[in-house]
Structure 1
Amino acid sequence: MISLCSFAQQPNIAKLTPLPADSVVKATQDTVKESRRARKRREELEAKAKEPIIFKDSTRLAIEAKTTKAWKRSALVPGWGQKTNGGLWWIKVPLIYGGLATTVVVFDFNNRYYKELLEELAFRTEFPNASYQNPDYQYASTQGLISAKDYARRNRDLMVLLTVGVYGLNIVEAYVDSMLKYRWNIGQKMGVKVTPTWMYAPNGTLAYTKLPVMGAKITLQLK
């Protein structure tokens, strides 16, 4: 005799196990966060697309090229930008090189003076019994030499700063002059007109008269 038995299939416990609550919350937050990023990116692209596109004509580009050319040339060679701008460049260029030459000469003088004082102080420190090494400093005290040495060093360092300042002023002047010449046009003619006029006296000694007094009116004309 044959008997048949059937068994019901056991459910897959691993497949039916629910996800932890933390994983669901994290996945939801990542989805929301990503959507916020996408929305922010989309808004930025839309705002950028709405901005008007400004096309510069050839005249404006040529003017901008002239203004940048002047200061760049002065940065390469002092005075070159002033020559490019024209005008009173024949006065500006000698002033620039005169200032640079002055600072270099004064720097060299103070540097040599500083080194001489250092040598004299080093000699007196090494040979305390000897009075001096350089005859020019035979009557100078050690403390006086130290003060003179510090003074020469300060002047030498100051000349370095002044040299950089003259060089930077050369670049700034070339840039400002080019801007005034090519961009900020206030007219080629400027006139001053002086005309007589009647004015009432201010509160003071003549206020009791209540009569106008003679004056002058100055008019500045820009054409």
Structure 2
Amino acid sequence: MVLCAQTKKPQPLLVIDTTKAKPLNPLAPTKAAFYSAILPGLGQAYNKRYWKIPIVYGALGTGVYFFMDNNKKYHRFRDAYKIRIAGGKDEFDGQYSDATLINAQKVFQRNRDLSFLITVGLYVLNIVDANVDAHLLQFNVNDNLSLRPDYYQNDINYKHNVGLSLNYQF
């Protein structure tokens, strides 16, 4: 009697890496900074960091509010002092002296100028944040660049040697 059987020959398993490396756009940080310079918060939206947009507008809005408030108070005390010098009756007549009106003008002028500088600084910080965030989005942290400790045994005295290797794979 002859027995015939078919046997299936195992096929080798082929594993293919299907992940594609994203190409880097070298102009992305510049574009993000440009967008933030045009409209504050637009660079953060370009970087898909939407949670930063309310912070940008809150900071800039606060700076603009204090600038306008101090400017209004500065002009209020300045106009009152001008009316008083011209011999008229101002809104602070009998309430503040001339020296107090001059001092209040100086204080509110200084606070107004400081508010302006802080607001401009926050605007520049918005642009820098968009640029740096776009750079960090392109930061490559994968297994092709790794830093691993390397332990091996010395053949002469059988003690463990410690080394550090930097491997870059193409």
TM-score band w.r.t. shorter chain: 0.5 to 0.7
What's 1:192 paired with? Answer: none
Residue among 33, 39, 63 paired with 1:71: 33
State TM-score, norm by structure 1. 0.51
State TM-score, norm by structure 2. 0.65
Residue among 160, 174, 184 paired with 2:130: 174
Aligned runs of 1:18-167 on 2, under 5 Å? 62-86=24-48, 89-127=49-87, 132-135=89-92, 138-167=94-123
Offset, 1:181: 0.9
Query: Could you give the per-residue CA deviations for residues 136-183 of structure 1, whole angstroms, max 9, x where no partner exists?
Result: x5311111111111000011111111111111001100111111111x
Structure 2 counterpart of 1:91, one-letter code: W
The separation in 1 between residues aligned to 2:90 and 2:31, in whole angstroms, is 55
Structure 2 counterpart of 1:173, one-letter code: D
Distance 1:180 1:104, change over 3 A: same
Structure 2 counterpart of 1:174, one-letter code: A
Identity of aligned residues (%): 37
RMSD between aligned residues? 2.3
Structure 1 counterpart of 2:113, one-letter code: D
- For structure 2, the 5+ residue unaligned runs are 1-20, 144-170
The separation in 1 between residues aligned to 2:142 and 2:110, in whole angstroms, is 47
Offset, 1:65: 2.1
Offset, 1:60: 9.8
Distance 1:124 1:167, change over 3 A: same
Structure 2 counterpart of 1:99, one-letter code: A
Report the number of matched residues.
123
Structure 1 counterpart of 2:40, one-letter code: P
What's 1:23 paired with? Answer: none
Could you say which structure has the higher helix fraction?
1
Structure 2 counterpart of 1:108, one-letter code: M
Contact 1:132–1:138 (CA under 8 A) maintained in structure 2? no
Contact 1:106–1:159 (CA under 8 A) maintained in structure 2? yes
What SS does the aligned partner of 1:63 have? Answer: coil
Name which one, 1 or 2, has greater alpha-carbon Rg: 1
Distance 1:187 1:157, change over 3 A: farther
Q: Which has the higher contact order (CA 8 A, sep 6+)?
A: 2
Q: Provide runs of 4+ in structure 1 moved above 2 Å.
A: 59-62, 184-188
Residue among 113, 122, 140 paired with 1:185: 140
Structure 1 counterpart of 2:44, one-letter code: Q
Distance 1:187 1:154, change over 3 A: farther
